Structure 1
């Protein structure tokens, strides 16, 4: 599995508690177990803090976001992955 596919699947899993569509970062945070304070980890290695990542890559004009797939692709595209 390529790194993009692996990261994509981790995002999809992490976003499973989020009810889409969402109209703000706060709605996404509300569906995450640790909210903005959570970290995304792969194989035990912390990749990033969710809140910091969203602040860097998500803009108010990105919303509404209709699905976990859309959000994961948006983040990965903006990260250049």
Structure 2
């Protein structure tokens, strides 16, 4: 999350509208996870581009699903670290 917050600030100051994931400090309940997944898909629907913050090239299961959703929706997907 620190890298996401820093990048969101940098992009925001450059004039971009930034939609970031919700920072869930503790593991969400299954209901909260479903809500967050739906929220993230809605943010992807609103986006022109998706920038994946993936330190060291790592992409987790949820993020991989969001990447697939974004690509299926025709969104450009870029990564902070090459995979």
TM-score range, shorter chain: under 0.3
Greater relative contact order (Cα 8 A, min sep 6): structure 1 or 2?
1
Using the size of structure 1 for normalisation, the TM-score is 0.25
Using the size of structure 2 for normalisation, the TM-score is 0.25
* Higher CA-based Rg: 2
